[in-house]
Amino acid sequence: MGISGSLSGIPRPAVFLDRDGVINAVRLADGKPYPPQSVEAVVVLDGVTQAIRLLDEAGYVCVVVTNQPDLARGSARNADVEAIHVRIADLTGLQHFYTCPHDDSDRCDCRKPLPGLLLRAARELDLDLDSSFMVGDRWRDVEAGKSAGVRCFYIDYGYSERPAVGYDWVVASLSEAASIILAKHQLVP
């Protein structure tokens, strides 16, 4: 998707967003979340489009940072993941998608909980990490955000996996996170 730097040359704040569980609904199996398997299965969660619009209007760059290990595992194709991103972009207005196509065994620096995706986006989009946020629904999201030096929101769905620690806020949705960001951290034009 589109990648562009700051027009003013001044780094901008960002809201980094995990994809599955933050932007779109997941499918649950044995208490664990899984991404949609097709474009037709994409369901954007309530309030997401409005939250993204409000954050954008307030001067935040919304950036999707998503692990998609099904690519490495061979159970998804790159074209399918890209088609899902296009669909999400069409439904939400999101423009920036950063994807890790690896699995843990690949030992890459872009797979959350490592901060590689956030750091790459910050370089390419001229983002100010000190004034940025991460919104995620898994421990990997929070750990990646903390490692990148951003403040973190955790959407706790009670998944059957390692719980997140070290987050700054627990929220029920992206809408709630956006409300907190916009209320407490207004940007000065």
Q: How confident is the model at residue 1 (pLDDT cuts 50, 70, 90)?
A: very low
- Across the strands, what pairs with 188? none
The catalytic site residues sit at 18, 20
Selection from 179, 64, 61 nearest residue 131 by Cα: 61
Please write the tens of the pLDDT for every residue from 132-147.
999 999 999 999 999 9
- Across the strands, what pairs with 61? 14
Instruction: Identify the burial level of 89 via C-beta atoms within 10 angstroms of its C-beta, where 0-12 means exposed, 13-18 middle and 19 or more buried.
Output: middle
Domain coordinates in residue numbering, the chain: 17-184
- The two structure tokens encoding residue 148: 């990148």
The whole-number average pLDDT for the span 94-109 is 94
Spatial distance between the Cα atoms of 138 and 143, rounded to a whole number of angstroms: 9
17-184: CATH topology: Rossmann fold (3.40.50)
Please write the tens of the pLDDT for every residue from 14-44.
999 999 999 999 999 999 999 999 999 999 9
User: Could you give the percent of the chain with pLDDT greater than 70?
Assistant: 93
The whole-number average pLDDT for the span 115-133 is 97
- Give the C-alpha distances (Å, rounded to integers) separating 165 from 26, 67, 128, 134: 22, 19, 24, 14
Q: Specify the pairing of strand 169-171 against strand 151-155.
A: parallel
The whole-number average pLDDT for the span 123-130 is 97
Q: What's the predicted TM-score (pTM) here?
A: 0.92
